[in-house]
Amino acid sequence: MGPRPTGERRTAILGAAAGLFAERGYRGVSIDDLGRAVGTTGPALYRHFPGKQALLGEVLVDISDRLARQGRELVAEAASADGALEALLRGHIAFALDEPSLITVHDRELGNLTEPDRRRVRRLQRGYVEEWVGVLAVLRPGASPTVLRAAVHAVFGLLNSTPHSRGELPRPHMAELLLSMGRAALTSPDAAPPAV
């Protein structure tokens, strides 16, 4: 296997793979399909990835890493917990609206990863969730971390439903709708049971 592709080439390969995996499912995509999608042959991809499963792993590890890194940066740059929550919500909403194929692939294909890749994805996702929990702990000091984690996962379910629920709504309108719903769900004292 040759060097991993970098920059625009890597982005193009991962984007094409995500699109095909979302459209046809992991098992419905051949290495030749992946090669054609990026203007090369399937065997040429073996210079960069050992196989289709490794490419799937790269797709899901990459997005998990990007979200985790973005979450850390947004929280570190925010002047307040309110600002951090707004930034986290806007960042995740942009991901959900702009990269729906990655949500579809994650939902359907996580079980097709190798065990090491699945562990990496889960570790990165836990770190991302904890960024949100840390912010919410400041905004809702009476709530337990267990309740806050559950709230974050519930809001992710809401935001990540957009590949299936956006319909005809224009992107800016959908983004603002999701922002107001996400903020309300995470900050309303009536949205969660008492601390356990």
Sequence-separated (6 or more) residues with CB below 8 Å from residue 189: 140
Q: Are 94 and 119 in contact (CB under 8 A)?
A: no
Is pTM, for the whole model, over 0.95? no
- Taking all residues of the chain, what is their mean pLDDT, rounded to a whole number? 89
Task: With cut-offs at 50, 70 and 90, classify the pLDDT of residue 57.
Answer: very high
Is pLDDT of 25 > 50?
yes
Is pLDDT of 192 > 50?
no
Is pLDDT of 184 > 60?
yes
